[in-house]
């Protein structure tokens, strides 16, 4: 099954359904179910921003369905979805729209860039 690695706290925010759009600098034609992996190294600034501590790193923690990819042509369009992605435009201009988000039993796994097979 395909897997996508996200740094903490972004993985946790997805699993809490507080983040339903994952921003990336690259597009994908992939649509469907995938596993959510928390990268080994967290985003320390975001951990403080969202007041989240002691989150698991280096584990598959859940799954979701990628239903579409939205291209944000400018900051105005990007900011319209701010409540769904919680990011800045520095993260990229492609929004992976997620649904059917579910937490699963943690499974240790080494991450990779892009979508990867587990």
**CATH code for position 26:** 2.30.130.30
pLDDT band at 83, cuts 50/70/90? very high
Q: Which tokens belong to 112?
A: 């990779």
pLDDT band at 68, cuts 50/70/90? very high
Q: Which residues constitute the domain of residue 7?
A: 2-109
Count how many domains the chain has: 1
Query: What is the percentage of the chain residues whose pLDDT exceeds 70?
Result: 100
Tell me the C-alpha distance between 16 and 3, whole Å. Answer: 18
Structural domain contains residue 115: no
The pLDDT mean for the chain works out to 97
Structural domain contains residue 91: yes
Q: What is the mean pLDDT of residues 32-60?
A: 96
Three-class secondary structure of residue 77 per DSSP = helix
Tell me the C-alpha distance between 66 and 99, whole Å. Answer: 7
Structural domain contains residue 59: yes
Structural domain contains residue 117: no
Assess whether pLDDT exceeds 90 at residue 89. no
Q: How far apart are the first and last CA of the chain?
A: 5
Tell me the C-alpha distance between 30 and 81, whole Å. Answer: 21
Structural domain contains residue 116: no
């Amino acid at each position: 099954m395909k897997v996508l690695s996200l740094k903490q706290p972004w993985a946790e925010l997805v699993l809490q359904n507080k983040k339903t759009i994952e921003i990336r600098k690259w597009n994908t034609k992939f649509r469907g179910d995938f596993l959510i992996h928390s990268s080994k190294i967290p985003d320390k600034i975001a951990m403080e921003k969202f007041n989240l501590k002691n989150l698991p790193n280096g584990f598959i923690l859940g799954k979701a369905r990628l239903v579409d990819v939205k291209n944000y042509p400018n900051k105005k369009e990007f900011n319209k979805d701010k409540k769904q992605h919680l990011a800045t435009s520095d993260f990229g201009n492609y929004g992976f729209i997620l649904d059917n988000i579910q937490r699963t039993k943690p499974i240790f796994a080494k991450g990779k860039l892009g979508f990867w097979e587990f």
